[in-house]
């Protein structure tokens, strides 16, 4: 009997142990979650100070180069600005039919402004023709504010150059050094000093953007008053504005390389200057004679285009076609022929049939401007030149005696 009771107690004990173990196993996932939640605390966000960017220090040589650039411009301005002047003019207004009842004793005047620069100790100052054209009174203001009257010595509408003169002591004049525009390179520094909008002594800086430009100025031009195309102009992105006309364009040595003459009002950074080598050729004549006599051929034309080459079945790819020959001109007397036929090409009417000039004095002509540049640089009135032309598909030579460009 005792044995049975002992066995029954042992069985009950084993059952209780099994139930306890099952309960523990059932709670194991919950226990694991509790452990995990305790082991993985809630993140704590700590506010940190914003990082401050520290610029990389410039190498000493870079700073030195920047300082050298600044000192270069400062030095040029100090040396050159005393030789740059502010030109003010008064010119009568031609009212014509706008005010027919206005008494002649009460003329109306308009004021103009521009720039100029001293070229010698005799008081000669170079400016633009369009600055002083038609002026009855010209005043010059120097860098120190001194104003004096000036008189016009000579003008040349076809290069847009003019010379005026002031009577002051030589000690008060600071002539600028003239450079060489034939040695210019695209990309080199270009510096302008002048009086844009009447703001005296303004310096702007840029580069030479292009060389050998020409302004398409015909006889009716209202921009500069020129009757013929002005060739070989220097193009620059240095700021040129109204009032800069006639002032110097300078290189990094402070030498004059051009005379600022025009800008494109519809484009930013497109200005033009007459090359200083044109000044060297024209200005001495303006001082001596008051005018410059240009050798003259008497034709108008254009560059050869692919359409013209194909339409005329030309044996050349470069050259200049003669469009018009001025009656009784040197070209007319030599028998040059203009274009007297028209063809329709892709809806356009082209003039064809004229002589095609491919060389002048054995110098190749690749575009029409080459003829003008050669004549201006290398010839005089009365000189003979030989033109190599293509006429009726054949090459031949024509000799022309240059005349003087007409004044009207």
Q: Does 245 participate in catalysis according to the annotation?
A: yes
Phi, psi of 193 (to 5 degrees): -125, 125
Phi, psi of 206 (to 5 degrees): -160, -150
Structure tokens at 25: 């196993």
Helix axes 28-39 and 2-26, enclosed angle (nearest 10) = 40
Structure tokens at 225: 């008053």
3-state secondary structure 91-150: EECCCHHHCCCCCCCCCCEEEEEEEEEECCCCCEEEECHHHHCCCCEEEEECCCCCEEEE
Q: Does 143 participate in catalysis according to the annotation?
A: no
Which residue of the set 115, 181, 245, 329 is catalytic?
A: 245
Listed as own residue / partner, the contacts of 365-370 with beta carbons closer than 8 Å and 24 or more positions apart are: 365/318, 365/319, 365/320, 366/303, 366/318, 366/319, 367/303, 367/318, 367/320, 368/301, 368/302, 368/303, 368/320, 368/321, 369/212, 369/214, 369/229, 369/231, 370/320
Which residue of the set 160, 237, 251, 370 is catalytic?
A: 160
Provide the annotated active-site residues: 130, 160, 245
């Amino acid at each position: 009997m005792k044995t049975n009771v002992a066995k029954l107690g042992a069985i009950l004990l084993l059952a209780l142990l099994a139930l306890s173990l099952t309960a523990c196993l059932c709670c194991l996932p919950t226990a694991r979650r509790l452990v995990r939640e305790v082991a993985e605390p809630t993140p704590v966000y700590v506010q940190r100070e914003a990082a401050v960017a520290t610029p990389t220090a410039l190498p000493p040589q870079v700073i030195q180069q920047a300082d050298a650039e600044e000192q270069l411009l400062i030095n040029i301005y100090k040396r050159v600005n005393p030789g740059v002047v502010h030109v003010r003019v008064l010119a009568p207004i031609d009212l014509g039919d706008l005010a027919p009842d206005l008494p002649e004793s009460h003329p109306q005047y308009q004021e103009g402004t521009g720039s100029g620069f001293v070229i010698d100790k005799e008081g000669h100052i170079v400016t633009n023709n369009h600055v002083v054209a038609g002026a009855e009174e010209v005043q010059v203001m120097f860098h120190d504010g001194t104003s004096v009257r000036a008189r016009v010595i000579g003008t040349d509408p076809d290069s847009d150059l003019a010379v005026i003169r002031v009577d002051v002591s030589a000690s008060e004049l600071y002539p600028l050094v003239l450079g060489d525009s034939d040695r210019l390179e695209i990309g080199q520094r270009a510096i302008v000093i002048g009086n844009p909008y009447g703001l005296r002594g303004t310096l702007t800086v840029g580069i030479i953007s292009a060389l050998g430009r020409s302004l398409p100025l015909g006889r009716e031009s209202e921009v500069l008053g020129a009757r013929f195309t002005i060739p070989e102009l220097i193009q620059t992105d240095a700021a040129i504005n109204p009032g800069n006309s006639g002032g110097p364009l300078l290189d990094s040595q402070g030498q004059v390389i051009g005379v600022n003459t025009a800008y494109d009002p519809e484009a930013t950074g497109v200005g033009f200057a007459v090359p200083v080598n044109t000044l060297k050729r024209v200005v001495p004549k303006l001082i001596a004679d008051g005018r410059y006599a240009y050798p003259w051929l008497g034709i108008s034309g254009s560059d050869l285009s692919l359409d013209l080459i194909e339409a005329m079945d030309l044996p050349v790819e470069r050259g200049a076609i003669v469009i018009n020959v001025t009656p009784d001109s040197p070209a007319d007397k030599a028998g040059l022929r203009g274009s007297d036929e028209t063809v329709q090409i892709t809806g356009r009417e082209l003039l064809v049939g004229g002589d095609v000039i491919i060389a002048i004095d054995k110098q190749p002509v690749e575009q029409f401007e080459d003829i003008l540049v050669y004549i201006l640089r290398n010839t005089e009135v009365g000189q003979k030149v030989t033109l190599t032309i293509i006429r009726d598909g054949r090459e031949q030579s024509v000799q022309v005696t240059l005349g003087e460009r007409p004044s009207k």
